[in-house]
Amino acid sequence: MNGWLLAAGITAFGVAVAHVVGGHRDVVRPLLTCGLADEPKRVLHAVWHMVSVDLLLSAAVLIHLALADGTSATGAMAWFVAAHFVAYAIAFLVVTLSVGWTKPLLRLPQWMLLLPVAVLAAAGAA
């Protein structure tokens, strides 16, 4: 068993739960009741669900890799998931830093949840 990948998978699962629970309350509900036109509103709603699925599948893959007997694809897949979470974190950082908010790193703190998964998955891949 790969402890790093197990920790990454459990952390990713926590991120997915936070996304589903917190995101529904803080993002989806306000989105669905705002004055945005119906089509872009529904596209954003669908994208939120796509990210939910993506986060859950990533957690499942990491946990599977952790419990599998180190197949030849384990390292490559773990690096892929690590890169995936780094890319998500970078997207949040770029968006947050481009707005000009005071204390921007705390306004959209999702990057702080995403980077640990990337670090743990990379450690497990190495």
pLDDT in tens, 68-103: 977 888 999 999 999 999 999 999 999 999 998 988
pLDDT at 69: 74
Q: Return all residues near 77 (Cβ < 8 A) that are at least 6 apart.
A: 61, 65
pLDDT at 19: 95
pTM: 0.91
pLDDT in tens, 37-61: 999 999 999 999 999 999 999 999 9
pLDDT in tens, 107-118: 999 999 999 999
Per-domain residue ranges for the chain?
3-125
Average per-residue pLDDT for the chain: 94
Neighbours of 10 (CB within 10 A): 16
